[in-house]
């Protein structure tokens, strides 16, 4: 790339070209006319061209000066527009967020009304998807991702850790005095897209709690977590699910956590490109989300299972 002249010399020339006066340009830039003259001369030396006709009475642009002034003027207009855009970075317009279907429906959505009250001029669009979405290929502002925080070259903020535990309808809990009682229960399994042996499962939970079940097979297996929660809340069995997903069911009394034995699973992180992390709407949502996570950990449910 061609080496650009010193920006101060370009700024000095642009001011002189507009005013056709070293004095008026100097007054605008808060320097002396001599300093402006030296800057313009330095620019001419760098370019190897004469940009100004000078006399004791007036200053005028040479043909080369006219051409260069036109380009410089447009460049400064773009810089001004960019600065104005940052200054007018209001919390309004649209905010598109992608996250897992479970987190969106069970934890985030019930809390969004409060965010809307705080920022009525901002319209939030939630995309529930368990696949990792590429910021370069989709018009997305924020992703709330479920993982281990390894998101290189991205702005990343930890939101919540997640834990997995059995849940069931309160009426069924009377038959679950010990972990061994699960050997006679109907167990509901959740296996999402990409599920592997490294993920939490009933087989692992039972072994961790020294429950021997020969030839273990779940009563039913679902690919969506909300199906596990609904089936358990209908009284059809015991589900092993995310406690974040189950929180609203427990809070409403539809489900109970019969055992305190839990598995640490992955965590939720707010992720976005560094290039937009400074935007007011991004910062507003991040601050609100982290505040909501703190409030969640301070609830009775949060203190019991997330602290």
Question: pLDDT tens across 213-247, in order?
Answer: 777 789 999 999 999 999 999 999 999 999 999 99
What pTM was estimated for this model as a whole?
Answer: 0.71
Task: Say whether both 69 and 122 belong to one domain.
Answer: no
Close Cβ partners of 167 (under 8 Å, ≥ 6 residues apart): 229, 232, 238, 239, 240, 241, 246, 249, 250, 255, 256, 257, 258
Quote the pLDDT of residue 198. 87
Nearest to 268 by CA among 156, 161, 110, 152: 161
Banded pLDDT at 1 (limits 50, 70, 90): very low
Q: Which residue has the higher pLDDT, 193 or 268?
A: 268
Q: What is the mean pLDDT of residues 173-191?
A: 92
Q: What is the mean pLDDT of residues 106-112?
A: 94
Task: Say whether both 141 and 74 belong to one domain.
Answer: no
Task: Say whether both 20 and 156 belong to one domain.
Answer: no
Banded pLDDT at 176 (limits 50, 70, 90): very high
CATH number of the domain to which 111 belongs: 3.40.190.10
Quote the pLDDT of residue 215. 72
Quote the pLDDT of residue 41. 94
The domain in which residue 56 lies consists of 7-87
Return the top range by mean pLDDT from 43-47, 135-139, 239-243, 279-283.
Answer: 239-243
- CA-based angle 155:157:158, to the nearest 5? 150
Banded pLDDT at 212 (limits 50, 70, 90): confident
Residue 189: how many other CB atoms lie within 10 Å: 20
Banded pLDDT at 91 (limits 50, 70, 90): confident
Rounded to the nearest 5°, which phi and psi values hold at 53? -95, 125
Task: Say whether both 287 and 149 belong to one domain.
Answer: yes
Mean pLDDT (the chain, rounded)? 91
Quote the pLDDT of residue 98. 95
Task: Say whether both 52 and 197 belong to one domain.
Answer: no
Cβ proximity of 106 and 248 under 8 Å: yes
Report the C-alpha gap between 188 and 22 in whole angstroms: 82
Give the three-class secondary structure for 8.
helix
CATH number of the domain to which 35 belongs: 1.10.10.10
Of the chain, the percentage scoring pLDDT greater than 90 comes to 72
Task: Say whether both 294 and 147 belong to one domain.
Answer: yes
Quote the pLDDT of residue 87. 58
Q: What is the mean pLDDT of residues 288-301?
A: 95
Q: To which residue do tokens 């209001």 refer? A: 90
Task: Say whether both 171 and 137 belong to one domain.
Answer: no
Task: Say whether both 277 and 155 belong to one domain.
Answer: yes
Tell me the pLDDT tens digit for each residue of 31-90. Answer: 999 999 999 999 999 999 999 999 877 899 999 999 999 999 888 888 877 766 665 677
Domain-located, residue 303:
no
Domain-located, residue 237:
yes
Task: Say whether both 132 and 248 belong to one domain.
Answer: no
What is the residue-wise DSSP string for 104-128?
Answer: IIIIIGGGHHHHHHH-TTEEEEEEE
Positive or negative, the Cα torsion across 67, 68, 69, 71?
positive
Phi-psi region of 210 (alpha: psi -120 to 50; beta: other; left: phi over 0): left
Banded pLDDT at 197 (limits 50, 70, 90): confident
Torsion of the alpha carbons at 231, 233, 238 and 242, rounded to the nearest 10: 90
Quote the pLDDT of residue 144. 97
Q: Which residue has the higher pLDDT, 194 or 249?
A: 249
Task: Say whether both 70 and 57 belong to one domain.
Answer: yes
Task: Say whether both 171 and 249 belong to one domain.
Answer: yes
Report the C-alpha gap between 289 and 158 in whole angstroms: 10
Q: To which residue do tokens 């699960």 refer? A: 182
Cβ proximity of 96 and 128 under 8 Å: no
Quote the pLDDT of residue 84. 63
Cβ proximity of 239 and 230 under 8 Å: no
Report the C-alpha gap between 301 and 307 in whole angstroms: 10
Burial class of residue 209 in the structure, from the number of CB atoms within 10 Å of its CB (0-12 exposed, 13-18 middle, 19+ buried): middle
């Amino acid at each position: 790339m061609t080496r650009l002249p010193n920006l101060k010399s370009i700024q000095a020339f642009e001011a002189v070209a507009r005013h056709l006066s070293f004095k008026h340009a100097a007054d605008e830039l808060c320097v002396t006319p001599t300093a402006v003259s030296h800057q313009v001369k330095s620019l001419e030396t760098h370019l190897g061209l004469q940009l100004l006709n000078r006399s004791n009475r007036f200053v005028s642009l040479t043909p080369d000066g006219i051409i260069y002034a036109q380009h410089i003027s447009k460049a400064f207009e773009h810089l001004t527009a960019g600065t104005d855009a940052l200054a007018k970075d209001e919390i309004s317009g649209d905010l598109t967020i992608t996250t897992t279907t479970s987190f969106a429906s069970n934890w985030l959505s019930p809390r969004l009304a409060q965010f809307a009250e705080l920022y009525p001029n901002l319209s939030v669009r939630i995309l529930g998807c368990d696949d990792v979405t590429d910021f370069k290929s989709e018009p997305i502002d924020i992703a709330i991702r479920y993982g281990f925080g390894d998101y290189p070259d991205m702005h990343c903020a930890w939101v919540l850790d997640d834990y997995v535990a059995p849940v069931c309808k309160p009426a069924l809990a009377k038959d679950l005095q010990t972990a061994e009682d699960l050997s006679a229960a109907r167990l509901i399994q959740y296996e999402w897209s990409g599920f592997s042996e490294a993920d939490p499962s009933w087989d692992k939970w039972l072994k961790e709690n020294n429950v021997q079940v020969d030839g273990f097979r779940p009563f039913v297996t679902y690919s969506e977590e909300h199906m596990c929660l609904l089936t358990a809340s209908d009284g059809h069995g015991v589900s092993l699910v995310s406690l974040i997903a189950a929180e609203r069911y427990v809070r409403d009394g539809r489900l109970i956590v019969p055992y305190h034995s839990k598995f640490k699973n992955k965590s939720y992180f707010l992720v976005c490109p560094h290039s937009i992390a400074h935007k007011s709407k991004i910062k507003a949502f991040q601050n609100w989300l982290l505040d909501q996570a703190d409030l969640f950990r301070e609830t009775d449910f949060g203190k019991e299972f997330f602290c």
